[in-house]
Structure 1
Amino acid sequence: MKRKNLNLRNAFILIISTLVIVTVFNQLERKNYQSTIQQEYMDSVTVTLNKAEKFINDHPDMNFSDLQVAPDVSVILIQEGTTKELNQELASAGLSTLLQSVFIHSEDGQEFLDNRAPEPVYFSYQDDFNETYSFFSLKRRTKAGFILVSKNATAFEGYLHNKELLDFGLVMSLITIFFVLVLFLNKRVFTRISQMTELAYEFSENKFENSIELQSNDQIDNLGIALNKMGKTLEATSLINTQERKLLMHVYNSLDTGVLYVEEDFTITDLNTIGQRFFTSYIKNDEGRFGIDSYYESLIFEAWRTNEPIQVEIQHNQLIFDVRFIPVEIDEKLKTQGVLLITKDITTDKQLVSIREDLITNVSHDLRTPLATIQGYSEAIKDDIAETTDEKNEMARIIHDEATQMSQMITSLLTVSRTKAGFSELNKESVLISAFFHKVINRFTERLNSEKIECDLVVKPGTSHYEMDEEKMHHAIYNLIDNAIHYAADPDLRYKRYIHIEVGLDELVDDLVITVSDNGIGISKESIPFIFERFFKDNKARTMPKNNGSGIGLSLVYTVITEHGGKIEVESTQNKGTSFVIRLPL
């Protein structure tokens, strides 16, 4: 913004003010001086008149040679139309001639002689040679006739005129000096100060492109040097502050905790990224009094009223949030200026707590059941309860199966833990796809037959071999099929229960695609995002009476697929079925 330069205007106002003051003082001085001189002239005329009158009265012989008056005063005796100069020492004969030949016969002179004015009167006349005479005159009637006493004031008028010229010259000189001084100051001082002022305003707006150009080594340039240094310092400081502010904003927006600030008028400001999402999803309500949800409004108001922090756990859909309402005191009067909302998604934390509790229950149950079976059958064999060899063999087989199940569960736990810790390695080799899947499916032949579940395999043409860790991938596919059998639908609700496995190539993205689908009881929509977490179980959907597992299987599947650089996705509808899609890079 361009700012007004008032220096020249102020300078002209100063010049005019000075001129007016000098003129007024000059006029006052002139008037005072003129009044003083006039009074002296009038006194001189009055004294001379009195002296001449006394002399005439004392010398009836009319011998005026002894009359002594000032040489600049004319004393004229007017008798019966004749005039006579009585001052033999009169210095200005021209004045006496003017008085006798012009003034006395003029209209002003006749009026003056006829008037009885007791005070001297000022007159100014020109003679035949255009020479101006100024004088003070006073007349008085005596026995001898009129006495006209006049004092020459021409020199006085000349002095006043010369003084006026001198004063005018003085005023013009002052104006010239002031004008030159103002131009000088404007160029050397005012303009540079204005530049510095403008530069300081630019600094205040974080604009540091310009600087002061130095002209000389005077104090103003020293100020310019200091201002330039200050600009450089401010620029560096501003750059550092900007970088720090950007870093803080990056950290602020990278927090996994939502931050919102509610001002006194319930305006919500200073939201970070998580806070903005939380506000938009749960707090914002256009129908509310302040545009926010009434529940949050009441909590904010309560924190404001009590000036005490409030902490609550709020559940939205399947997510649980820890929300804190913290009053903010800014001034020294400890008056609440706003309320800070801190939100944190604690859904995972809550799930971990639940998972830890379930882990103890599930693992102890999954270990206790086969151990109890092993213990019971081993005691039966020991006590010779089994009478025949076939019965003993059957008991031994059951003990072996239960021990194998325990070993598989412990192996799965160790595999997941080692993979999560980064200690697992892949032993990849070229595996024949068709033979690999038949080998896995054959392990479930007895269960599939007993459960009356059909399992079919489709290997599309062009899919023969794949580089993978056969043992780990075997565990992964085994768990998917085991899950499909475990959570198959009730036979009374399905005309046919099936598991469909399809393997093929997606040539568009060069992936090996494995699909394992069933028409079982499905997975609840709320549980799908968490099914690959360790020890997680969809208790809402999977309410089968049989043991519903330890929650390790799908976590193991996800770990193995991720190790191979692949991805696994799930699509499921409750009471209709589930489909797992695995994509492995070629």
Structure 2
Amino acid sequence: MILRSVVGKLWLTIIVLVSLVLLLLSLFLSEQVGSAYMKDQEQSLIQLTDDIEKSLSTSQSDQTESLNQTLEAAKLFRTYMVILNSDGSTKPLVTSPHASDIKWTDIFSANQLTKVMNGERLVWHDSIQLADEEKSKGIILVADPYYQQGASPGVLVIYQIKDDLGGAKIKEWIFYSALIALILTTIFAFFLSTRITQPLIQMKRAAERMAKGEFKIRIPVRIHEWDEITSLGITFNRMAAQLEDSIHQLSQEKEQLASILRSMSDGVITIDKYKKVILSNPQADRFLALWTSDNDLPPPLTDFLKRVMESEEEVVEDVSKQDTTWAIVMAPLYAGEQVRGAVAVLRDVTGKRRLEKLRKDFVANVSHELRTPLAMLQGYSEALLDDIASTPADRKEIAQVINDESQRMSRLVRELLDLARMEAGHVQVFIDEVEVTTLVRRIERKFSTLAKEENVQLRVEMSDALPLVYWDEDKIEQVLTNLVDNAIRHTPASGSVCLSVTVQSDRILLAVADTGNGIPEEDLPFVFERFYKADKARTRGQSGGTGLGLSIVKHLVRAHQGEVTVKSQVGRGTTFTVSLPIQAKRDEAQDEM
């Protein structure tokens, strides 16, 4: 863990460097101190040797006194002296009680003695084990030839016993000093490392919090201690402020883009090259919800994406699903020169396509409705011109056909004009007091003959005490006329049609129910469209209508602030229900022509 930390690395680096320096310095100082100590001890013994040699060169009386004084002083420092004659025997001047502990013959060899007798001074040091000591002791020995007046030359041997031959105490103090310096350096290095790396650790923690989305984080900066770390901290805070501002701007732009996408009536889907949906708005989600497959992308969009990736050109096509038609435009998205995905714009064109179909059907139906009477008018008029009708009865029959077809054309044109005005909002509604009972009975009398001709039972059911209502009587009569006429014409023989009137709260419900073949469920939403035929096999000529009646009913009912609904079951009949307020409000805007 230490090596994975900047503080640990810096601390270990300083400790290792300082330790190496202190070790080398300690070794150097120990060597120098030991060498200097030995030289000092050797010089002291050499000086003592010179002094004794001078004493030996004096008279006998002075010599003895001087040597005794020298020996007394030397005992204090465990220094011993042996004087040898030329034949190698000792003089009785050495009386130290410790001199016998270390025999000079144990540390001074015959070869060394020979060298000294030949006039060579010998300086020697070593370590030996004393009999009464647990540790070895240091020995420093100086042997030098001396000369007396009137006597042959001899050998002066001076040796000194030392507890520490190389200045071990001084070396020990050097070691302790180095150890103390190392401890202090460790503390200082740790303090310095912490001081230096603490801002870095703060930056690391701040960066981690920024990675989690906390862009308001800032690190403390010591302005009074300006250095590179302080400059780095200021730069980090400036970077964090700029990053926070950039993220804020990006968030605003993202929210703005999301709001735009949510408010768009078109769906927008962004797809990457791996067929993953990156972005979509609610309208696009509605399109994606049409597919319940586990695939991330619906099959049509997958195919479009493949074509876009291969051709790098936009694709425009319609896709239908669950009675809904979508117009899709998919264009490539680029990352540099490479296609990284595609963006698709989807528009629900179900209503538009339906209107286009209705427009085509309208033109076809109007053409069909006009073609038949025009053909009959032309044919019968040519018959009159060619005198094919020879009798007055034939001519009257032809004239009657021409009159019926012209009235049929007039009715079609009139209803088309009325419907056009209604769809444009120009419906004249004259609100007045109306007795519902009288209105319903009038409708019953009007269609009783037709019902008998078609062998259909027509009956009326009304609640008691119906209130007075305020409607446009002519418009509501037209509504009931269209509904009852359709019901009778689409009810087979022996069937029945029921016109019922009920009161529900502040509204009147007018219901026309038949026992006809019924309307398929998929056709119910379109029965109020112009020229829409629920029975695809039935022609207008068979039913006698223009195909505009229900569309007119819808507009007239809405002009009274009412609603018209239909319920049907194939093989069991159909029920149209008109819900009208008891007192309809007159809409001035609708009355403007």
- Counterpart in the other structure of 2:520: 524
Question: Following the alignment from structure 2 to structure 1, what is the Cα–Cα distance between the partners of residues 97 and 349?
Answer: 125
Contact 1:531/1:554, CA 8 A, preserved across alignment: yes
Q: Deviations over 1:463-491 (max 9, x none)?
A: 323333434433333332343344x1454
Specify whether residues 497 and 196 from structure 1 end up closer, same or farther in structure 2 by C-alpha distance, changes over 3 A only: same
Q: Distance in 2 between matches of 1:302 and 1:397?
A: 62
CA contact (8 A) 2:557 2:563 kept: yes
Structure 2 residue matching 1:527: 3-state secondary structure? helix
Does the aligned pair in 2 maintain the 1:85–1:96 contact within 8 Å? no
Please give the residue correspondences for 1:390-429 in structure 2 after superposition, counting only pairs within 5 Å. Answer: 398=404, 401-402=407-408, 405-406=411-412, 408-419=414-425, 423-424=426-427, 426-429=429-432
Letter in 2 for 1:113: F
Deviations 1:71-103 (A, max 9, x none): xxxxxx9xxxx9996998x9x944785212477
2:497 matched residue in structure 1: 499
Structure 1 counterpart SS, 2:521: coil
Does structure 1 conserve the Cα–Cα contact (< 8 Å) formed by 2:456 and 2:496? yes
Corresponding position of 1:571: 567
Q: What is the CA-CA distance between 1:516 and the residue it aligns to? A: 1.9
| Correspondence for 2:134 | none
1:203 pairs with 2:210: yes
Structure 1 range deviating more: 259-268 or 147-156: 147-156
Check 1:249–1:24 CA distance in 2 against 1; reply closer, same or farther (3 A cut): same
Matches within 5 A, 1:207-218: 207=214
Question: 1:72 maps to what in 2?
Answer: none
Change (3 A) 1:298 1:200: closer
Q: Please, which of 115, 120, 124 is the counterpart of residue 120 of structure 1?
A: 124
For residue 522 of structure 1, give the secondary structure of its aligned residue in structure 2. Answer: coil
Residues 512 and 244 (structure 1), Cα distance of their counterparts in 2 relative to 1, 3 Å cut: farther
Instruction: Please show how residues 233-272 of structure 1 align to structure 2 within 5 Å.
Output: 238=247, 241-253=250-262, 255-260=264-269, 266-267=275-276, 270-272=279-281
1:69 corresponds in structure 2 to none
1:163 and 1:528 mapped to 2: Cα distance? 110
**Counterparts of 1:440 and 1:179 in 2: how far apart (Å)?**
108
Query: TM-score, with normalisation over the residues of structure 2?
Result: 0.68
Aligned match for 1:99, one of 65, 79, 85: 79
The residue identity in structure 2 corresponding to 1:413 is L
Q: Structure 1 stretches of 5 or more lacking a match?
A: 66-76, 127-132
Residue 108 of structure 1: how far off its partner (Å): 8.5
> Do 1:541 and 1:574's aligned partners in 2 also have CA atoms closer than 8 Å?
no
Q: Pick closer, same or farther for the CA change 1:182–1:309 going to 2, 3 Å.
A: closer
Q: Which runs of 5+ in 2 are unaligned?
A: 81-95, 113-121, 131-136, 147-152, 583-593
Task: Compute the TM-score of the two structures, normalised by the length of structure 1.
Answer: 0.69
The verdict on how the C-alpha distance between 1:231 and 1:529 changes in structure 2, with shifts beyond 3 A counting, is farther
Quote the Cα distance in structure 2 between the aligned partners of 1:140 and 1:542. Answer: 155
Q: 1:137 to 1:537 in 2, by over 3 A?
A: farther
CA distance in 2, matches of 1:251, 1:524: 41
Ranked by relative contact order (alpha carbons within 8 Å, sequence separation 6 or more), the top structure is: 2
Shift of 1:355: 2.0
1:261 and 1:270 in contact (8 A); partners too: yes
Partner of 2:36: 37
Q: Does 1:546 align with 2:561?
A: no
Deviation at 1:116, TM superposition (A): 6.8
Q: Distance in 1 between matches of 2:67 and 2:475?
A: 155
Q: In 2, distance between residues paired with 1:228 and 1:511?
A: 72
- Residue 260 of structure 1 contacts residue 340 of structure 1 at CA under 8 Å; is this kept in 2? yes
How far apart, in 2, do the equivalents of 1:107 and 1:569 lie?
139
- Structure 1 counterpart of 2:205, which letter? E
Question: Which string of whole-angstrom CA distances, capped at 9 and with x for unpartnered residues, describes residues 515-573 of structure 1?
Answer: 22222333233222233334544363645653675543333333333343333322223
Percent identity among equivalent residues? Answer: 20
Counterpart secondary structure, 1:540 = coil
Kindly report which structure 2 residues correspond to 1:31-430, keeping only aligned pairs within 5 A, or say none.
31-34=30-33, 36-37=35-36, 63=57, 93-94=73-74, 98-100=78-80, 101=96, 104-107=99-102, 111-114=106-109, 120-121=124-125, 136-139=140-143, 144-145=154-155, 147-148=157-158, 160=171, 163-164=174-175, 166-168=177-179, 170-175=181-186, 177-178=188-189, 181=192, 185=195, 190-191=197-198, 194-207=201-214, 219=226, 238=247, 241-253=250-262, 255-260=264-269, 266-267=275-276, 270-282=279-291, 284-285=292-293, 301=306, 304=309, 309-316=314-321, 318-323=323-328, 328-332=332-336, 334=338, 336-338=339-341, 343-367=346-370, 398=404, 401-402=407-408, 405-406=411-412, 408-419=414-425, 423-424=426-427, 426-430=429-433
After TM superposition, give the deviation of residue 380 of structure 1 in Å: 10
Q: Which residue does the alignment assign to 2:441?
A: 438
Superposition CA RMSD, Å: 5.4
Residues 456, 492 of structure 2: 8 Å contact kept = no
Amino acid of the structure 2 residue aligned with 1:414: A
SS at match of 1:532: coil
What is the one-letter code of the residue matched to 1:533? E
In structure 1, give the amino acid aligned to 2:487: A
Alignment match, 1:71: none
1:12–1:399 CA distance, 2 compared to 1 (3 A): closer
**Structure with max Cα Rg:** 2
**1:457 aligns to 2:457 (yes or no):** no
Name the structure 1 match of 2:25: 26
Once the two structures are superposed, residues 445-468 of structure 1 have per-residue CA deviations (whole angstroms, 9 ceiling, x without a partner) of 554444333332222235323333
CA distance in 1, matches of 2:549, 2:511: 17
Comparing 98-107 and 211-220, the one that deviates more: 211-220
| Worse-matched range after superposition: 352-361 or 262-271 | 262-271
The total of aligned residue pairs comes to: 534
Amino acid at match of 2:572: K
CA contact (8 A) 1:571 1:579 kept: yes
Query: C-alpha distance in 2, partners of 1:466/1:236?
Result: 67
* In structure 1, distance between residues paired with 2:97 and 2:482: 149
Counterpart for residue 70 of structure 1: none
Give the Cα separation in 1 of the matches to 2:414 and 2:4: 91
User: For 1:106 and 1:25, how far apart are their aligned partners in 2?
Assistant: 39
Q: Does 1:513 align with 2:516?
A: no
Once the 2 structures are TM-superposed, how far is the Cα of residue 137 of structure 1 from its aligned partner? 3.2
Residues 1:560 and 2:560 are matched in the alignment:
no
